[in-house]
Chains A and B, each alone.
Chain A
């Protein structure tokens, strides 16, 4: 028996064993993601070869295909064309095709950004106001109201999608950015209120009271003292709301088609000749995942709080 260490400290061996298992799990669990990123840099032929190519000649074909529409042409026609001006035109011509125009991906990606940022802004703003009121004031039926706000998260999206679809059609909000921003704002509100209330509970009341003794009104104290104090919490909440709007699929696929469609319903529809264009789908997926991965690293200290609506704070 090794008596030099506390009995609570795991032994060196068990610690090493644990680390090894965790590392193996990490590697295995990241294979699917790495694979799709790798696929985005393959050529179409290489992506459908078997056995799967772990080492391959990198190509930007996937990204070119993602952003362009192309059509196949006869050799004579291709020969009659003037020299290709850009590298991507050349790449497309080497596949016996010409670029016919930009694809919809850029527009869908921009829609995701606009709707994501819009909804995040409104849900965090409204959520912060409500959270402050719940955190500081005596509100009648406070617990019931808080539970009511949370319970709106339990509706299956499809259950409310039909009425919202009909409602939006009447109001002219169907397939519009505004309609989707309102919808995502509402879906995110429950998370925003619950998380922000937790963060605001942690700010001592004495700060505002001191400011109010110095002549601030309650509103001024809220905007000039409490909000800046809650900035970390607000940022974490905002990122969570952004990730949700960014990833949302059910409402997007049911309520939007042309104008306000976001990227998640679009990526699966990227089709090449004779089936799905895997490098292009890989490219779309990669571009779509990068922001979320960055956010996750930024958020790592608040992850737990976010995913449990503030129920577990560490």
Chain B
């Protein structure tokens, strides 16, 4: 077969393969890899992008030392960790719960799924804007709904530094729970019926079936969903910038938002590049370890 194909007219398969792949690779190298290398190079200098004409000086690891020794940066990392952990926990629980319910295959199932999925298709920045309206302590719907049946008092979700970190968790969970739900649902639908039939024959209780069949089968899917969400939320910028812009004070200043301030408001290009590299390495490191663990669980 192979030799037969080669006799056909036109360019050889090998030539076509490279002609087809090269434009994609060149673009990725030019707009993704080159800037990354550029950023790594700048991270060893004291470059300021707004001071044109001033030669950047090589400063070695100074930027990295400065960042890792700064208490403020660890604070940002904690704020980011709080956001990532709580959104993942809530989205895992609610998403899996919804998927289990949807898997009962009632009428109108598909329509309901589509409607529930809507929030995650919206623009995060625009979602952030309209939630500031919903959260507004004077006129917002959020407080009205909470106080509808019982008077809990007014919650200034964005203005209070204790509530603000939760306000971003709530909005992100509202927006992205459908994501875990959809992926878990795919996992549930991939479980073949005969497994439950066999369990019924063995007189396993519903609870045992859930623990020994449903959960292990859906776990790899859930972990995949959390990987995607974890990476996205670690990089989180748009939603939170528009919702709280990092405030009040710096109560919701996630790593990405801090990075933006250093890079585009203070124009400390060298310093912020070093921070960007640290963030990137962290994501990559965590991602790699996570994938290894995930594959182990899958193989088990």
Which residues of A come within 8 Å of B, CB atoms? Answer: 7-8, 10, 14-16, 18-19, 21-23, 25-26, 29-33, 35-36, 39, 47-52, 126-127, 129-130, 132-134, 136-139, 145, 148-149, 151-152, 154-167, 182-183, 185-186, 189-190, 193, 209, 212, 215-220, 222, 243, 246-250, 253-254, 264-265, 267-268, 276, 278, 281-282, 285, 288-289, 292-293, 295-297, 300, 303-304, 307-308, 311-312, 314
Contact = CB atoms under 8 A, between A and B. Distances in A.
CB-based closest 9 A-B pairs: A217-B10, A159-B276, A163-B35, A247-B123, A249-B125, A133-B20, A129-B20, A249-B238, A163-B38
Interface stretch (B61-69, B109-117, B158-166): B109-117
A296 B49 contact: no
B129 interface: yes
Nearest to A270: B129
A253 B106 CA distance: 44
A158 B16 contact: no
Contact of B138 (A50, A149, A217): A50
A32 B130 CA distance: 8
Residue picked from B126, B140, B264, B279, most chain A C-beta under 10 Å: B126
A246 B5 CA distance: 43
B115 to A, nearest CB: 5
Interface in B23-72: 23-25, 27-28, 30-36, 38-39, 42, 49
Contacts of B108: 19
A247 B189 contact: no
Given A22-B102, A126-B24, A304 B183 contact: yes
A127 B35 CA distance: 21
Contact of B16 (A30, A137, A216): A137
B269 interface: yes
Given A50-B144, A129-B21, 19 more contacts: A19-B108, A22-B101, A30-B118, A32-B134, A48-B138, A126-B24, A133-B17, A134-B21, A156-B234, A156-B283, A160-B32, A160-B276, A162-B272, A186-B30, A218-B13, A278-B133, A293-B121, A304-B183, A307-B182
Contact of B129 (A139, A246, A267): A267
A285 B28 contact: no
A117 to B, nearest CB: 17
B179 interface: yes
A19 to B, nearest CB: 4
A162 B130 contact: no
A308 B138 contact: no
For chain B, what secondary structure do more than half of its interface residues adopt (helix, strand, loop), or is it mixed? helix
A170 to B, nearest CB: 11
Contacts of A307: 120, 179, 182-183, 228
B112 A22 contact: yes
A308 B183 contact: yes
30 contacts: A8-B193, A8-B197, A15-B104, A15-B105, A26-B116, A50-B139, A52-B140, A52-B144, A126-B23, A154-B231, A156-B237, A156-B276, A158-B237, A158-B263, A159-B36, A163-B39, A163-B273, A182-B31, A185-B27, A186-B27, A186-B32, A189-B28, A247-B126, A289-B123, A296-B118, A304-B185, A307-B182, A307-B183, A308-B224, A311-B224
B149 to A, nearest CB: 14
B16 A164 contact: no
B238 to A, nearest CB: 4
Nearest to B199: A7
A288 B272 CA distance: 33
B284 A154 contact: yes
A303 B280 CA distance: 28
A26 B141 contact: no
A212 B242 CA distance: 55
A267 B126 contact: yes
A292 B115 CA distance: 12
Contacts of B279: 156, 159
Contact of A166 (B49, B105, B117): B49
Contact of B39 (A160, A278, A282): A160
Contact of A162 (B39, B105, B241, B242): B39
A130 B28 CA distance: 12
Contacts of A36: 130, 133
Given A30-B115, A47-B139, A156-B280, A149 B24 contact: yes
Interface in B93-110: 98, 101-102, 104-108, 110
B6 to A, nearest CB: 10
Given A33-B119, A296-B121, A49 B139 contact: yes
B221 interface: yes
Contact of A22 (B5, B98, B256): B98
Contacts of A249: 123-125, 237-238, 241-242
A280 to B, nearest CB: 12
Interface in B168-186: 174, 179, 182-183, 185-186
Nearest to A247: B123
B256 to A, nearest CB: 5
Contacts of A186: 27-28, 30-32
B116 A130 contact: no
Interface in B270-287: 272-273, 276-277, 279-280, 283-284, 287
